[in-house]
Amino acid sequence: MRGMKMGLLAGMVLASPAAAQQRAAIDINQIGFEPGDVKLAVVRGAGTSPLPWQLLDADGNAVGKGETLVYGPDASSGAVVQRIDFSGFRRAGQGYRLSVAGVTSDPFVIAPTLYKALARDAVNFFYQQRAGTPIDARFAGAAWARPAGHAHEVAGCFSGADERGTSWPGCTYKLDVTGGWYDAGDHGKYLVNGGISLWTLLNAYERRPKGFPDGSLRIPESGNGVSDMLDEARWEMEFLLRMQIPDGVRTRVPSGPLGAPKPGRPAWEPSFPPFAEIDAGGMAHQKVADRSWTALPMPPQNDREERLLYPPTTGATLNLAATAAQGARLWRGVDDAFAARCLSAARRAWAAAQRNPRVYATSSFTGSGGYGDSELGDEFYWAAAELYATTGEDAFRKAVTGSPHFAEAVRAPGWSFTAPLGTITLATVKTGLGDAEVQKLRATLIAAADGILEQRRQNGYAIPYKAQGYPWGSNGDLMNQAMLLGVAGDLTGAAKYRAGIVSALDYLLGRNPMGTSYVSGYGTRSLQNPHHRFWARSLDAKLPGPPPGVLSGGPNDTAMGDPVAMQLKGKCVAQTCWVDDIGAYALNEVAINWNAPFFWVAAWMDD
């Protein structure tokens, strides 16, 4: 996702995931359950005959019992599994354990408001990832305090030859692009990943404006009379606005029809279309990042690489148009001047994308991720939806209803497929659409959620996710699917969607065949060594590990490109293709677009 980075194998011995699945174990959400929720544990490696189980309290007394439900061989985990369903037990308490076949589970609690702290830590990730400002111990914790990274970032454009020898003209201006969030474990700041992450936080606010009052989050802006969620989101919104090109600028970029790409290869990767001069005013640069990859570890204040703006793209421009339009709607009445600034930027970006609809990202620069996307119809639809929801103007309504993505079957969103974000907005924000149109949009979201729930039947761990094939960032994909469950829950009030979200969080927090919580600071065995340049304790004892509430990208059996993952290739299946190692960037990186839906889901559960 972020490009080639340093994999560190010194002294590391990887246990065989396949061998681990043969030992009897109980996999369970290691933090626990709220009293009224579904409570499910998975027993692996204990055969195919039903087994008696007991629920023990903190004193070792049996307070519940039953018999396991046999699932059998599970392709996703490579294990033979059984399930324990103890949903009927609702007594709050600490130190509970399950016991079956001579094996005892990790301790867990049953308590109300279990997800409140999780949601607050998940969103504090964004403060921890801020660029351009000192990270204060009062808000981050003493271990994570650090000087500002890239404190005054004024960058010019990349010029000269790229990795493939293609010459880029550069530009005659520089932009002050201080601020924003570091994207992941590197120091890059990207429009296309920042866009979906920012939208997700703003949508959590729009869904429940009173849920994040001033003073509720650990950020410096607390006490300013504005929702803390808007304050955190503004840090990124301001950065996206700074990435917009001034009016009157002309530049040369690869632009125009790309022709037929090679089978199985994205159009943006194998070749460029011809360079053409365009009116770039209002477009947004794809990213600002280092000229070359920095080594691990590397706190951002120590980064000495040259920082560069990389060429504008239509995708980045539409991300700006969508989020700035959304921001204009949400800051209206809070900070009218900033709302107007956002709307002006959104209109300029939309007009620029209309003029330049086929300026694609390229993977030909080192030092940062490419985020190439050869299909932009979904971004056009998303941006039009946000502009229509904010302005009510007929031109944007026509752009929305004329899109093939309008009322189409929905699947989970991602940075490269943003159409569902537009559908969520149109289905939940009052616009000039007719009742029949709104109901059709809502029906597509509910149908998608029902399909996601059905996926629980297709894997032994009963998670709302596809049974086989785990891509890069599978945990983030799972959370985006869980977000759709939350939207359907809001639209219908049906309890089944909460049950599906519980299953998704259970998987992240320990009910998985690794027996590990993929969330730092939560669970008996939790994420310790993400691929990250300044949460790098395993490489430098003076640096911290991750703060609480950080989500690992998770199992990946489809793009095992780093040196650590290569040791697992062919020796693991789906859910077991993971290791907690800082060098495993394909398996164990963290990213704003994964923590954003994770936060959204945890906040939904805390509702």
Q: In this model, does residue 553 exceed pLDDT 80?
A: yes
pLDDT digits (tens, 9 = 90+) for 202-229: 999 999 999 999 999 999 999 999 999 9
Mean pLDDT of 539-550: 98
Q: Can you say whether the dihedral through the CA atoms of 272, 278, 284, 285 is positive or negative?
A: positive
CA 129 distance to own-chain centroid = 14
Mean pLDDT of 353-360: 95
Q: Report the C-alpha gap between 536 and 517 in whole angstroms.
A: 19
Note the pLDDT of residue 468. Answer: 64
Task: Take residue 420 and report the two structure tokens written for it.
Answer: 């569902």
Same domain, 64 and 198: no
Q: In this model, does residue 8 exceed pLDDT 80?
A: no
User: Within a domain: residue 428?
Assistant: no
Task: Answer whether 86's CB lies under 8 Å from 39's CB.
Answer: yes
Domain finish residue from 41, 76, 110? 110
Mean pLDDT of 76-80: 95
Mean pLDDT of 349-373: 92
User: Within a domain: residue 296?
Assistant: yes
Same domain, 214 and 88: no
Q: In this model, does residue 260 exceed pLDDT 50?
A: no
Full residue range of the structural domain in which residue 313 is found:
129-374
Same domain, 321 and 187: yes
Q: In this model, does residue 503 exceed pLDDT 80?
A: yes
Q: In this model, does residue 12 exceed pLDDT 50?
A: no
Mean pLDDT of 520-549: 98
Mean pLDDT of 287-293: 97
Q: In this model, does residue 21 exceed pLDDT 70?
A: no
Note the pLDDT of residue 585. Answer: 97
pLDDT digits (tens, 9 = 90+) for 94-106: 999 999 999 999 9
Mean pLDDT of 162-184: 95
Domain finish residue from 110, 143, 177? 110
* DSSP alpha helix (H) spans, 129-166: 137-140
Report the first-to-last Cα separation within the chain, whole angstroms. Answer: 32
Give the chain's domain count.
2
Note the pLDDT of residue 14. Answer: 46
pLDDT digits (tens, 9 = 90+) for 440-455: 999 999 999 999 999 9
Same domain, 315 and 255: yes
User: Within a domain: residue 510?
Assistant: no
pLDDT digits (tens, 9 = 90+) for 444-490: 999 999 999 999 999 999 999 985 689 999 999 999 999 999 999 99
Domain finish residue from 82, 110, 138? 110
255 confidence band (pLDDT: 50, 70, 90): confident
- DSSP for 505-524 reads HHHHTT-STT--BSBTTSSS
Task: Answer whether 11's CB lies under 8 Å from 32's CB.
Answer: no
Note the pLDDT of residue 259. Answer: 38
pLDDT digits (tens, 9 = 90+) for 398-437: 999 999 999 899 999 999 999 999 999 999 999 999 999 9
Which residues face 66 on adjacent strands?
A: 53
* Nearest-5° Cα angle at 515, 561 to 5: 20
Task: Answer whether 557's CB lies under 8 Å from 469's CB.
Answer: yes
Note the pLDDT of residue 471. Answer: 95
Q: In this model, does residue 93 exceed pLDDT 60?
A: yes
Catalytic residue list? 186, 531, 580, 589
Q: Report the C-alpha gap between 426 and 398 in whole angstroms.
A: 13
Same domain, 362 and 238: yes
Same domain, 67 and 203: no
Mean pLDDT of 267-293: 86
CATH assignment at residue 68: 2.60.40.10
Note the pLDDT of residue 269. Answer: 52
Same domain, 101 and 170: no
Same domain, 275 and 306: yes
Q: In this model, does residue 264 exceed pLDDT 80?
A: no
Residue listed under structure tokens 């990208």: 553
User: Within a domain: residue 412?
Assistant: no
CATH assignment at residue 266: 1.50.10.10
Q: Report the C-alpha gap between 423 and 403 in whole angstroms.
A: 11
Note the pLDDT of residue 4. Answer: 36
Same domain, 60 and 151: no
Same domain, 193 and 299: yes
Same domain, 166 and 224: yes
User: Within a domain: residue 238?
Assistant: yes
Q: Which of 131-145, 243-257, 465-479 has the highest mean pLDDT?
A: 131-145
Note the pLDDT of residue 267. Answer: 41
Burial class of residue 460 (count of CB atoms within 10 Å of its CB; 0-12, 13-18, 19+)? buried
User: Within a domain: residue 407?
Assistant: no
Task: Answer whether 309's CB lies under 8 Å from 285's CB.
Answer: yes
DSSP three-state, residue 36 = coil
Note the pLDDT of residue 164. Answer: 85
Mean pLDDT of 278-288: 98
Q: Report the C-alpha gap between 72 and 183 in whole angstroms.
A: 40
Task: Take residue 595 and report the two structure tokens written for it.
Answer: 């923590």
User: Within a domain: residue 241?
Assistant: yes
Q: How much of the chain exceeds pLDDT 90, in percent?
A: 89
Same domain, 209 and 83: no
Note the pLDDT of residue 22. Answer: 61
User: Within a domain: residue 357?
Assistant: yes
Task: Answer whether 232's CB lies under 8 Å from 216's CB.
Answer: no
